[in-house]
Amino acid sequence: MAVAFTFPGQGSQSVGMGKDLADAFPEARAVFEEVDEALGQKLSQIMWEGPEETLTLTANAQPALMAVSLAALRAMEARGFSLKDKVAYVAGHSLGEYSALAAAGMFSIADTARLLRIRGNAMQAAVPVGEGAMAAIIGLEQADVEAACAEAAQNSVCQIANDNGGGQLVISGAKAAVELAAKLCTEKGAKRALMLSVSAPFHSALMAPAAEAMREALAGVAKQAPVVPVVANVVVQPLSNPDEIVARLVEQVTGRVRWRETVEWFGANGVETMYEVGSGKVLSGLARRIDKEIATSAINTPADVEAAVAALA
């Protein structure tokens, strides 16, 4: 029975996340302290006390979500769990791919926190606020969404950013083009076309300056081969070579998050149980809509940690 560990992306953050882990497990608290020190900021205080609008800022949400995921994992490891021995694959949704790689030992927690702070700032700075947009398209075939994006883009940018599964696609690009594409999707029969409250057009070609920033940042950190292969967002293939993983992380900034295909790949390659490690249960919900044969479980409370350690013993 193969097991996959997955790590959530932006949108799974909430004020208070990780506090119960820090209170219950000294190993978890040490992770939050390490992230605070790496960033030179009491990020843990923002995570646990808010305000929500400060936590939601991309540059804060990204390292914060990683910290919760790694805190849960370190608590499991202190109770005898071994990722290398018990897990066949790791994967993460967008920023969650960095959490997956930290979990698998490719990057240190401190370096991952700094990388995600750079990533968040670079993504925010790539496009002036108000010039980009994203929209969720529900209940329309991918080919029809791609056609709407192409028609709306003209000489601008509009593309599919996330294929989340369960009939949910997210489009991203220049604001006017995304608004037009959303309207065209509705005309083509989408159940819903919802403009998202985001600060930048993530995973679109407009993020090219952020991709270059990440290429430079990733070149400067220490890397080890991950102890478990990562199923990379942009290629949906298990990777273990650090150089190739870094190239895909750079590509990921402007590329599509192929989450539906990732879960389908798990199912086709023997994964029977998928754990979501960190804040929230978004990935578990998506997985249930994509492949009902895969059992899903979230690990984000002390009770979850103890249950997962027992189940995977």
Share of the chain above pLDDT 70, in %: 100
pLDDT at 197 over 90: no
pLDDT at 198 over 90: no
Distance between CA atoms of residues 274 and 294, nearest Å: 7
Q: pLDDT-derived band of residue 1, with 50, 70 and 90 as boundaries?
A: confident
Q: Note the pLDDT of residue 129.
A: 87
The question of whether 172 is a catalytic residue gets the answer no
Identify the active-site residue in 69, 93, 99, 203.
203
> What is the pLDDT averaged over residues 262-277?
98
* Residue partners of 305: CB distance under 8 A and separation at least 6: 21, 24, 25, 72, 75, 76, 79, 299
Per-residue model confidence as pLDDT tens digits over 34-90: 999 999 999 999 999 999 999 999 999 999 999 999 999 999 999 999 999 999 999
The question of whether 203 is a catalytic residue gets the answer yes
Identify the active-site residue in 12, 69, 94, 279.
94
Residue of 124, 143, 72, 94 lying closest to 303 (CA atoms) = 72
Q: Note the pLDDT of residue 258.
A: 98
pLDDT at 199 over 90: no
User: Residue 73: in which H helix or E strand, if any?
Assistant: helix 58-78
Residue of 143, 172, 147 lying closest to 160 (CA atoms) = 172
